[in-house]
Amino acid sequence: MNVVIVGIGLIGGSLARDLRSHYPEISIYGIDASDAHLKEAIELELIDGIASAKELAEADVLYISIPVDAIVHELPKLLDAINDDTLVIDAGSTKSEICRRIINHKRRRNFLASHPIAGTEFSGPSAAISGLFEGKTNIICEVEKTAFKLQERALSIFSRLGMRIRYMNPEAHDKHIAYVSHLSHISSFMLGKTVIEKEKNERDIFDMAGSGFESTVRLAKSSPAMWTPIFEQNKENVVETLDEYIQNLEDFKQKLLDDNFEGIYNEMDNTNKIKAILKGIPQNNKDR
């Protein structure tokens, strides 16, 4: 199988690692805006070399794992460069704008819109890990718009990698993901900001920060280059989730001011049911 990966960072590099272990005969070529990442990806044996027009034209699978604004920009051109039998898959964390962008492209049926719910807060080829996709959910949008035989090729690859498939329309994907992923990132970034600002005056605050702080603020290590376009593309849904979150914070604060500790107890007790909801999610599943 000939594969070209556009964006050989955390997601593209992890895919390369898993493809190599499941398809020993595979050839994988890469395209990336960063020469340093391409060099590193070759050194790490994620890719066999840099893809030229020839590798693009001969690809059985083209996997696009670059920031979502770059996907919107590059996807039509990449569809122009492939052959009629190439399967093109994207990994973008938003889906509506990407799907809209190529709705009328002559090779729309070569494209499968997907979002693997797998990742970490780290970036670049050195962050790529084996087995990242094992047991994780892969959300596929508008599957009916992909040619049937290319759907089958994609499902066979996802199945070998151990992924579970969920089908959703792009609008539902973006609405749901705003709650479970995008809001978590904003909340983590703003918690980090609040503590960093306080730390200017109270140097030893970090000495007191236990694992609770560390795990809650983990997502604030994520790349602004990846997350800014995600928030831009999903602005409407993200604003809606923020309104609800801010209201909950205000209510919590008011209960404290009112000495309503029974109300505070009940809020936390009700929210404890998150334990049951999240039971069964693999421990290494990160919230993307």
Which positions touch ligand NAP (CB under 6 A)?
A: 6-7, 9-12, 31-34, 37, 65-68, 70-71, 74, 91-93, 115-116, 119-120, 123-124, 127, 223, 225-226, 230, 288
Q: Which residues pair with 139 in a beta bridge?
A: 115, 166
For residues 42 and 147, which CB has a smaller minimum distance to ligand NAP in the complex? 42
Least distance (Å) between residue 260 CB and ligand NAP: 38
Least distance (Å) between residue 129 CB and ligand NAP: 11
For residues 60 and 69, which CB has a smaller minimum distance to ligand NAP in the complex? 69
Least distance (Å) between residue 3 CB and ligand NAP: 16
Least distance (Å) between residue 253 CB and ligand NAP: 32
Give how far Cα 13 sits from Cα of 20, 40, 115, 167, Å: 11, 10, 15, 25
Query: Is the Cβ–Cβ distance between 249 and 183 less than 8 Å?
Result: no
Separation of alpha carbons 144 and 138, rounded Å: 16
For residues 218 and 255, which CB has a smaller minimum distance to ligand NAP in the complex? 218
Q: Which residues pair with 114 in a beta bridge?
A: 140
For residues 127 and 155, which CB has a smaller minimum distance to ligand NAP in the complex? 127
For residues 270 and 283, which CB has a smaller minimum distance to ligand NAP in the complex? 283
Separation of alpha carbons 157 and 194, rounded Å: 43
Least distance (Å) between residue 203 CB and ligand NAP: 32
For residues 107 and 115, which CB has a smaller minimum distance to ligand NAP in the complex? 115
Least distance (Å) between residue 208 CB and ligand NAP: 29
In the three-class reduction of DSSP (H, G, I as helix; E, B as strand; rest coil), residue 222 is classed as coil
For residues 12 and 170, which CB has a smaller minimum distance to ligand NAP in the complex? 12
Amino acid at 36: A
Q: Which stretches of the chain are DSSP H helices?
A: 10-22, 35-43, 53-58, 68-81, 96-101, 148-160, 170-177, 183-199, 211-216, 224-233, 235-257, 261-271, 274-278
Give how far Cα 257 sits from Cα of 12, 191, 213, 251, 269, Å: 49, 21, 24, 10, 19
Least distance (Å) between residue 123 CB and ligand NAP: 4
